[in-house]
A and B are shown apart, each in its own frame.
Chain A
Amino acid sequence: MTTLFLALLIVRNESIYKMTLEVFIRIAHLQIVISFLVVLMAVLHFKRRSTESKLMGLSFIFGPIAYLSFGILNLKGKNVNIPQSIETMLYFLVLTMVYNFTLGGRYKKLFLAAAIFFPTFAVSNLLFGQQNDNNTYSQALRSIILIAYCILYCYRLLVDLPVQHLQRVPMFWFNSAILIFNAGTLFLFLFTSYLVEVLNNDLLIYWTFHNILSIVQYSVIMVGLWQDLRNIKSRSSSPSVP
């Protein structure tokens, strides 16, 4: 996938650009459909699901809602950046809750500080920084903080050794998905502003890659949600301990 991305960047010709526009729209739609699927999957057996899975499902509701609001706001000639910024903040806050819960409130102060600092930065960026442009600095900061969360989770997992089979832990899949997506998109977010403002790039290829990574993220999260379902079923089929 990355090799393909490199090839697309290096072999730059007209036909690829035309193809990318169509592909971009298709992939964007596919991404929205899969994110809906993630939400639907999280809703299945909602009451019996683990808190992490419930919160993960909740975190992916914001993306499609923001995406749908772009079209409506765009038609009315209004700023589409506000719903996107709200989505960025809500997504971040829900994930902060997920990690705080998963780590048993051990780093509560750290998560609280991040939950205050990031929205403050995002709002400041929206008001005084990138304003009406795509607020990629906020997204870049979000990626950095989320990568730190992921590494913290990995560290705790190695220290605590809570289970024998990691692949049976839904949070392991969620964490892997978040880590891969944020690590893959960090450089993209850091350079988007430069690409648009200085080089006048239309970002199609870059954003197509971003969307592909989103699809990978959703797919891995779906594996985690499926694993959570399996855990629910195995819990209900095993006899209760007297």
Chain B
Amino acid sequence: MAGPSEYQVALLIAIGTVGMLLLAIAIILFMVFYQKKMIQEQLKRRQLELDYQQKMMEAALESQENERRKVAGDLHDSIGGMLSAIRVGLTTIAKQMADPQSMEQPKQMLDDTINSVRSISRDLMPSTLEKFGLVHAVKELCERFQATSFLPVIFHEQGELQGLNQRKELMIFRVAQELVSNAVKHSQATTIHVTIRGTDKLEMIVEDDGVGFDVEAERSLTQSGKGLGLFNIENRVRLLSAKLEFDDQREKGSKITMTMQL
């Protein structure tokens, strides 16, 4: 029996080749489209996870703020009120005593305690923020830090801030509070400048002439669970959809800028 003719072999080669080529092209196309689809799915999943994390973070911060508000209220109204009543009582008793001077020292101690309670209460929930807004609250914050640390904390205000709700104002205030507190505690600076600029976007700058710091080292400290300051600041900045920049080109000190669209 004769074998296949040349024509049959040619046809077989042609069909086989076309089949293989189509298969190869199909594999490549499948890979391209499937990969694209898988990556889109992955991005969607990541976005969902990110949204969930953001919501969790928001809830945690909210409950923290609520707790602070409650403690601040209790301190101010309950303990503060009672201490003031005791102060009035002491004054009355001192008037009836033969030696009213002997009551001066307890009165002084009580005054210091009342001031401390007020200060803690203000730190926990600044009433100025709710009454007069962010700029006044940050200005007052600078004054308080200056008074307690004896370090010039100079506040600058440029432009006019508008369009911020109370929740956002509180978050920005917390960022300012943490940044100034860090500068006072760790920078060894001689002067600290806090600037708030605002027209169509808010820019808050905390600048010092101290020893500066390594952002990455701070971040790794946070990851190892040792420092939460930067972590909290970055979380709040993320929730505000703002941007935090660390000026690493400075020779001396540090400059941290938070920018947010209004």
Contacts and interface: CB of A to CB of B under 8 A. Distances in A.
Interface of A: 2, 5-6, 9-10, 147, 150-151, 154, 157-158, 161, 164, 166-167, 176, 179-180, 183-188, 190-191, 194-195, 198-199, 201, 206, 209, 242
B115 interface: no
Contacts of B39: 161, 164
A164 to B, nearest CB: 5
- The B interface, classified by DSSP as helix, strand, loop or mixed, is helix
Contact of B31 (A2, A157, A186): A157
18 contacts: A2-B17, A5-B14, A5-B17, A6-B18, A9-B14, A147-B24, A151-B27, A154-B28, A154-B31, A158-B34, A161-B35, A161-B42, A180-B24, A184-B20, A187-B16, A190-B16, A195-B9, A206-B13
Contacts of A166: 31-32, 35-36
B6 interface: yes
Contacts of A164: 39
Given A6-B14, A158-B34, A195 B6 contact: yes
Contact of B24 (A6, A179, A198, A199): A179
Contacts of A191: 9, 12-13
B9 A180 contact: no
A201 B10 CA distance: 11
B248 interface: yes
Contact of A187 (B17, B35, B42): B17
Contacts of A167: 32
Interface residues of B, number: 28
A187 B13 contact: yes
B45 to A, nearest CB: 12
B3 interface: yes
B6 A187 contact: no
B221 interface: no
Interface in B12-69: 12-14, 16-18, 20-21, 23-25, 27-28, 31-32, 34-36, 38-39, 42
B6 A186 contact: no
B38 A180 contact: no
Report the 8 A-B pairs with minimum CB-CB distance, sorted nearest first.
A187-B16, A183-B24, A183-B20, A9-B10, A199-B6, A179-B24, A154-B31, A187-B17
Contact of B11 (A9, A184, A198): A9
Nearest to A206: B13
B17 A157 contact: no
